[in-house]
A and B are shown apart, each in its own frame.
Chain A
Amino acid sequence: LAKTTQPISMDSYEGQEVNITCSHNNIATNDYITWYQQFPSQGPRFIIQGYKTKVTNEVASLFIPADRKSSTLSLPRVSLSDTAVYYCLVGVHGSSNTGKLIFGQGTTLQVKP
């Protein structure tokens, strides 16, 4: 499973767009990229998954360049309730033959009023 690197923390203000970039230089051909969100005192929650180019759902967008060595989670117009830890995971879901999730430190996003 590919190792990921992402910023430990980020600050933003309400109404701004937030982009969190994750590096995964050793991503394998069949690996998908998945992001989870975790609020304090709760378990992680799946938010988005992609393989290449762009994926968008009601919560976020995921941008993946052609070389797939990085990905960017984009949160449009954040609110205070988006304050959470965001985890980038590679090599699980979609194509892998394991359900095991390997969490890194994640990025702690603090949204300020």
Chain B
Amino acid sequence: EAGVTQFPSHSVIEKGQTVTLRCDPISGHDNLYWYRRVMGKEIKFLLHFVKESKQDESGMPNNRFLAERTGGTYSTLKVQPAELEDSGVYFCASSQKMNTEAFFGQGTRLTVV
């Protein structure tokens, strides 16, 4: 069974540009989460989808971040325009039920220069 996959694994962009991260959850998992770790900080929750609906987006830092999950399958996280402080590792996770084990992807390392 395929795990959670994220694309790209690395991305280097200039300040002001746009980047879109993609996450493919485990098939059949209705719950999809985005997290990130910025340099030297803890892993922080960004948002939670249940199917295509945003269940909790309390962790989204500002309106430069837009997450979508059209059709309730894969999800994208777009940063526009990117700022230097957006650099970090973005993790996606999925789970079958809301309060069951979460499976994480390898992460996307984003570097904004």
**Distance (whole angstroms) from the CB of B31 to the closest CB of chain A:** 5
Q: Quick check: is A10 within 8 A (CB to CB) of the other chain?
A: no
Q: Complex Cα distance A88/B17, Å? A: 37
Q: Complex Cα distance A96/B31, Å? A: 14
B105 touching A43 by the CB < 8 A rule? yes
Interface of A: prevailing SS: loop
Instruction: Specify which chain A residues have a CB less than 8 angstroms from the CB of B55 in the assembled complex.
Output: 99
A101 touching B99 by the CB < 8 A rule? no
Q: Complex Cα distance A96/B48, Å? A: 15
A101 touching B98 by the CB < 8 A rule? no
Please, which residue of chain B has its CB at the minimum distance from the CB of A91? B99
Given the interface contacts A100-B48, A103-B42, does A41 sit within 8 Å of B99 by beta carbon?
Answer: no
Instruction: Specify which chain A residues have a CB less than 8 angstroms from the CB of B4 in the assembled complex.
Output: 43
Interface residue tally of chain B, by bracket? Answer: 20 to 34
Q: Mark B73-113, 1 if CB is under 8 A from A, else 0.
A: 00000000000000000011101001111111111000000
Please, which residue of chain B has its CB at the minimum distance from the CB of A85? B43
Given the interface contacts A41-B106, A43-B104, A93-B101, does A99 sit within 8 Å of B31 by beta carbon?
Answer: yes
Contact of B93 among A43, A96, A102 (CB under 8 A): A43
Given the interface contacts A43-B93, A43-B106, does A99 sit within 8 Å of B42 by beta carbon?
Answer: no
Instruction: Specify which chain B residues have a CB less than 8 angstroms from the CB of A99 in the assembled complex.
Output: 31, 33, 48, 55, 95, 98-99, 102
B106 touching A95 by the CB < 8 A rule? no
Q: Complex Cα distance A41/B99, Å? A: 25
In chain A, residues 16-43, which have Cβ atoms closer than 8 Å to a Cβ of chain B? 41-43
Given the interface contacts A43-B91, A103-B43, A105-B42, does A97 sit within 8 Å of B104 by beta carbon?
Answer: no
User: Residues of A at under 8 Å CB distance from B?
Assistant: 41-46, 49, 92-106
